[in-house]
Amino acid sequence: MDTTAAITCVADAAADEEALLVAFASLDGDMVDQHFGSAQAFYLYAVTPDSADFLASHNFGIEKKDGNEDKLKPKMAWLAGADIVYCGSIGGSATRQLLTLGVHPVQVKGGPDVEELIEELQGQLNGTREPWLEKLLQRKQKAQNDDRFADFEDEGWDD
């Protein structure tokens, strides 16, 4: 298993808290060309309206498209903390598991370039957002606000 940056899961990746953590199922990191369940690797970026920084990749090796759900466990564990994952195709069970983790799966056809998908996402962040993205951003903002209140409580702040 190859991890470019030594992280055990996406949540460990150092990124601007305003950034979306976006993973791409890709054989080489250039295009989204992998089925989620049999994806050999994922490439992780921190995406903001104005930047996209490569953070890490993780190689899972060759997997068969055989319906065996055991191969999903390591992928789910590594993707914990991601906001979005792009893949060429994905089954219903994997979709449900990702959504339970708070990760929004996006299925794309035709092997689009990772760079193009990032630019498209940035375009939405800077303009009119699709409903799924707006909902994801609201959920992320609420979670950040909840974390801030918990930090204040831990510090024992008074009125």
In a domain, 29, yes or no: yes
Amino acid at position 128, single letter: T
Any domain includes 14: yes
Indicate whether 153 belongs to any domain: no
Range of the domain at 28: 10-128
- Mind giving me the DSSP string for 14-25? ---TTSEEEEEE
pTM, full prediction: 0.85
Identify the pLDDT of residue 146.
73
In a domain, 111, yes or no: yes
| CATH at residue 46 | 3.30.420.130
* Bridge partner residues of 45 (DSSP): 22, 54
In a domain, 3, yes or no: no
Rounded-to-integer distance, Cα 94 and Cα 99, Å: 9
Tens of pLDDT along the chain (159 residues) come to: 344 456 889 998 877 888 999 999 999 999 999 999 889 999 999 999 999 999 999 998 776 655 556 779 999 999 999 999 999 999 999 999 999 999 999 999 988 999 999 999 999 999 999 999 999 999 988 887 876 555 555 565 555
User: Does 74 fall in a domain?
Assistant: yes
20 part of a folded domain:
yes
CA distances from 24 to 67, 117, 142 (A): 21, 9, 25
- DSSP letter for each residue of 72-134: HHHHHHHHTT-SEEEESB--HHHHHHHHHHT-EEEE--S--BHHHHHHHHHHHHHSPPPHHHH
Cα(39)–Cα(77) distance, rounded to whole angstroms? 14
In this prediction, residue 153 carries a pLDDT of 57
For the chain, the domain total comes to 1
Neighbours of 143 (CB within 10 A): 12
